[in-house]
Structure 1
Amino acid sequence: MMRVLILGGVAAGTKVAAKLKRLRFDTEVLILTKDADISYAGCGLPYYVGDVITDREKIIVNTPEKFAALTGAKVLTGREAVKLDAAGKTVTAKNLATGEEEVYPYDACVISTGASSIVPPLQGVNLKGVFTMRTPDDAEGLKNYVKASGAKTAVVAGGGFIGLEVAENLLEQGLDVTVMDMAPQVMPGFDPEFAAYGTRHLEKVGIHVSTSTKMEGITGSEKAEGVQTDKGLIPADVVVLSLGIRPNTAFLKETGLEFAKNGAILVDKSLRTNLPDVYAAGDCAVVSNRLTGERAWAPMGSAANMEGRVLAEVLAGREKEFAGVLGTAVVKLPGLNAARTGLNEAAARAAGYDVETVVAVNDD
C-alpha cells in the first residue's frame, strides 16, 4: 500500500487527498496541518468581517472529521512540520498540543504548506488592533475587535485584492477607511489606466487611497492609534496589514530543495520537485505561465485546486501535466467588479510581444 503524506490542508492539500482517494482508494493518505481549520475559503474572509457572511462555518468548507469521513483520508491537526528527510523518506512534525516531535514515514510527500502574511519589522505591529487577513481566526479577531472597541477609523496597508475587499467591508461597518500602498497604484497586475479608474471609484464611495506611500510604523501605547508614513500620520483605531504573503517553506531550507528567490519551491509540469518522491503545489510552489512558459508564482485558491487535481492523477500513476497559470484575478470593489487575466501591456512587451491596446465599453 502506497503511503502519501501531505503537509498542509487548505486548498491544494485537501484537493490532492480527495481526488487521490477517488482514483486509488487503497492509497494511505495522511494530512498534517498546523491549524485547527482545514479547507477554508480564504477569499470569503473579508465578507465575514463585513457580515455579508454571518456564520463562520460558511467559510469553512470541511472540518477535519467531515473531510476524513467523506474521503477516507486521515487528518491530524496541530502538527507543524519542522524537518523533511528526503533520503530517509520521513517528515518530523511538532505536536503543538504536547510539544513533542513525531516522525511520519512516506512513500510520496506533498508539500502544500501555503503562505503566511508578511508582517514588517516595524514599531507597533504587535499592538492591539493590528491584524493580518489570512485565516478564519484573523477575520474573527478583526470583526470582534471592531465591534468591541467602537473603532471609527481604519487603515488597510496594501492595495491588493484582499486588502481592497477588507477596506470595502470595513466601510460597510461604518468606519472611515484609508488604503495605502508603497506601489504607484492599487490593484497589482492591472494596467495603470484601469487601476486609476478603480482608485477614482474607491474615492467616490468614500475610501481614501494613498499610493506611493511608505509605512514607517504604527503609533499607540497599548493599542493602535495611527499609522506613521513618509507623508505624515494617518489616524487608525484599526490597522490591517495586507502587504503580501511569503511561502511557508523556511523549515525546508536545508533539504536540498530548489527554490525561487521568494522562497517558493520550484516544480516541473507534473508538480515534482528536484528531490525524489517529493512534490509541491499551491501557494508554496512556483509553476509556469501558460502564455510565456516562464516561471510564475500564482498564490490563488483557483490555481491551487487545479494543481492539486493534476498532482493527484500523477500520484495515481497517470501521465498528467499542469498547463500553467494565466494570472487570472477578480476583485470586488463597492458597486464595481474588476477582473484581469493573461498578460498586461507592460508584461506583454517584456515578453517580446508587439502590443496594441483597445478599450471597449460594454455591458457587464
Structure 2
Amino acid sequence: MISRRVVIVGGVAGGASCAARLRRLDENAEIYVFERGGFVSFANCGLPYYIGGVISPRERLLVASPERFRDYFNVEVRVNHEVTRIDRENRLVEVRNRQTGARFTRPYDALVLAPGAKPIVPDVPGVDLPGVFTLRLLEDAERIYRWLQDRHVTRAVVVGAGYIGLEMVENLANRNITVTVVEAAPQILPGFDPEMVVPIYDKLAAHDVRLLLGHPLQAIEADGSQLLVTAGGEKIDCGAVILSVGVRPDVTLAQEAGLEIGPLGGIRVNEHMQTSDPTIWAVGDAVEVKDLVTGQPTWVPLAGPASRQARVAADNICGRPSRFPGALGTAFVRVFGVDIAKTGLTEKAAQRAGIPYQKSFTHSASHATYYPGAKPMTIKLLFDPRDGRVLGAQAVGSEGVDKRIDVIAAMIQKGGTVYDLEEAELCYAPQVGSARDPVNIAGFVAGNILRGDVAPAHWDELDRFPEERRPFILDVRTPGEFAAGALPGAVNIPLGELRGRLHELPRDREIWVHCAGGQRSYYGVRILNQKGFRARNLSGGYSIYRAYRRGTPKSNG
C-alpha cells in the first residue's frame, strides 16, 4: 500500500539526500527523483580537482547512481529528465525526457524542489564562444578537461576570484597552465574582509598568477585558435576562459508555479523548508533561509546546509516535526597551501547590516611551538560590544584553520559569547594544539576588551586623525624588529625597557601601543594604564598594519 507519492526535482546534495532520508522514514512511499543532468549525485565541490588531475578517475566524483538508489532505497531516479511545469491545483508535475523529447505527468502528494543554482554569465560579447566555460555540473568539468587536454592549452583566464575561481586557478596551475585572474571586485574572495586575504596574494604571485582586480570582464573575442579577453582596457591572449563570477538561485520553475520568492531572489521557505504552498518543500541553493546572526534572509549556496535542509524537509513530509534554524555561511578554501575560512558575519557584512560590533585580531600557532611544524594563523573575531555574543570569525593560515572556525561556528549556533570561547575545552596534544588553543586566545583577548582590561585600537582608524591630533605611536618590539620595518613616526621603546623609560612618553596624548602580533603591546598597555597614561593596544600588531597598508594589488606580473 502506497502511503504517499513524493516527487523530487533535482538531485545532488539536496534532492538525493532528501530521497534517501524519505525512504529511511517511510518504506511505503512512492518516491521519484527527476534530474535534468546526467548524474543524480556527484561531488560538485570536487570538480576543479578533477580538472587539475588531483581526483582521478572521474568516477570517484560519483556519490550514488540511479541503480544504487533503486537497489538500496527503492527510489526511481530518472536522469536527463526535466520537470517543466508544476500544476499545483491538480498536484501534478510535467516532465520532459531531454534525450527523446517525450513528455508525461506524474502526480504528487508532496513535492520537493531542489533545482540548485545556475552560473552567472556576464552580459558581454563572446561568452558563447568555443573555449569559454562555466563550471557547475560534472558534464562541464568533463568538457573543460577535454578542451585543455586536446588543445594543449598553455594560458587560461579565470573570470572571478571567489571559491571556485581560485580553486580553478590552483588546478590550472597544476597542469602547468599560466593563469590570469580577472575580478570586478577590488580584492580576491570578496566574501572575506580585505586584510584577511593578503597572505594569498604572495602565493598567487609565487605561482606566476597574474591578477587584474577591480576590472570587470568587457569582452571575449576569437583570434584563430586562441581567445582574446578584454578587461581593464587590456587584452589577454589565452586558450580557455573559465567564467566563475558566481551563481544565482534557479527559481524559474517555482516562479512559474506562483510560489513566493524572497528579497534575495531565492524561494521563500519557513523553518520546516515549506514553501508558500504547504504541499511543496524546497531545499538547497535555490532557497533563502534565516541568517542565524542577523535574523534576516540570507542565501547560502553550500552543500552542507543543503544536505541538512533535505533532512528537515523529509522529516516534515513524513510527519516528524523538524526545523532548520538558519545558516551562518561557514566556508573554507585552500589556495596553494594557504587555508582561509569564515563563519557568521564579516566586518563588511556587519557594517552593511548596521549591527554594532567590536573586533579583535589574534595570532597563534596551529599547535604547541615546541613540537616541530607549528604554523602561524591569524583569527579575526567580531563580537557584540554589549554582551560579548560572537557575531563572526575569519581565520587564515596553513594548518588547523578549519577546526578553529568549526568550533567558533558551533558557539555562534548556540548563542555563545567570547567568555564561552575562553572556557572552551578543546583537544590538546603537542601535535594538534596547545594548552591555550587559538580559540581560547581569541576569547581571552575579546574578554579583556569587554572587561575593560585593555582598550583596542585599529590600524584602519589611524588615518581618520588629523596630524595635530594623531595618537602617539609606541612600538615595543626589539630594535632589530624595528629596524627591519616600522610605522612612520613611531617611537621604539622595547617592552623590557618600558618601565625605566616612562618619562619619555607624553601624558597629554593617547598612546597607541603595538608589537608584532599584539601580545607584548598588551603587556605594555597594562603597564602604562596603571601608571596613569591613556593607552590602547593596536589589535593584531604590525603584521595587521602591513596587511592594511599593502591593500590589494591592481595587477601583478
* 1:195 CA drift (Å): 2.4
Q: Which moved more, 1:267-276 or 1:189-198?
A: 189-198
Kept in 2, the 8 Å contact 1:68–1:75? The answer is yes
* 1:83/1:251 contact within 8 Å kept: yes
Indicate which of 201, 206, 211 corresponds to 1:209: 211
Paired residues for 1:256-271 under 5 Å:
256-261=258-263, 263-271=265-273
Q: 1:318 deviation in Å?
A: 1.2
In percent, how many aligned pairs have the same letter?
37
CA contact (8 A) 1:246 1:262 kept: no
Which entry has the higher C-alpha Rg, 1 or 2? 2
Deviates further, 204-213 or 254-263: 254-263
Q: Secondary structure at the match of 2:333?
A: strand
SS at match of 1:304: helix
* TM-score, normalisation: structure 2: 0.64
- In 1, Cα distance between the equivalents of 2:196 and 2:238? 28
| Superposition map of 1:286-305 within 5 A | 286-305=288-307
Length-normalised TM-score, structure 1: 0.96
Check conservation: 2:264, 2:298, Cα contact below 8 A: no
In the alignment, what sits opposite 1:134?
A: 136
Query: 2 CA distance for matches of 1:98 and 1:147?
Result: 31
Residue pair 1:108, 1:277 contacting (<8 A) in 2 also = yes
Alignment of 1:94-243 (within 5 A): 94-221=96-223, 223-243=225-245
Shift of 1:350: 3.6
Q: CA deviation at 1:355?
A: 2.0
Q: Which amino acid aligns with 1:107?
A: D
Residues 206-262 of structure 1: CA deviation (Å, up to 9, x unaligned): 211211111111121565422111331112111000111122222332322111355
Deviations 1:338-361 (A, max 9, x none): 111110012223444332222222
CA distance in 1 between counterparts of 2:45 and 2:308 reads 16
- Matched residue pairs, number? 364
Once residues 41 and 154 of structure 2 are traced to their aligned partners in structure 1, the CA distance between those partners, rounded to angstroms, is 33
Q: 1:37 to 1:223 in 2, by over 3 A?
A: farther
Deviations 1:155-209 (A, max 9, x none): 0001110110011000010011011111111112111101233233322332112
Q: Which residue of 2 aligns with 1:357?
A: 359
Q: For 1:69, which of 46, 68, 71 is the aligned residue?
A: 71
Which residue number corresponds to residue 311 of structure 1?
313
Check the 8 A contact 2:264/2:297 in 1, yes or no.
no
Cα RMSD (Å): 1.5
Q: 1:135 to 1:306 in 2, by over 3 A?
A: same
2:34 corresponds to 1:32: yes
Q: Verify the 8 A CA contact 1:153 1:177 in the aligned structure 2.
A: yes
CA distance in 1, matches of 2:253, 2:321: 30
Matched residue SS, 1:309: helix
SS of the residue corresponding to residue 271 of structure 1 reads coil
- Tell me by how many angstroms 1:40 deviates: 0.7
What does residue range 324-339 of structure 1 map to in structure 2 within 5 Å? 324-339=326-341
The one-letter amino acid of 1:159's match is A
Secondary structure of the 1:76 match is strand
CA deviation string 1:33-76 (max 9, x = no partner) = 10110111111000000100011111110111112212221101
Taking the aligned partners of 2:80 and 2:93, their CA distance within structure 1 comes to: 15
- Highest RCO, 1 vs 2 (Cα 8 Å, sep ≥ 6): 1
Q: What CA deviation, in whole Å up to 9, does each residue of 1:256-299 have, x standing for no partner?
A: 21113553211011001101301100011111111221101001
Partner of 1:17: 19
Unaligned segments of structure 2, at least 5 residues: 367-398, 400-557
**AA partner of residue 181 (structure 1):** E
> Take 2:201 and 2:299, find their aligned partners in 1: how far apart are those partners?
26
Tell me, yes or no, if the aligned pair for 1:127 and 1:224 is still in contact at 8 Å. Answer: no
One-letter identity of the residue aligned with 1:130: V
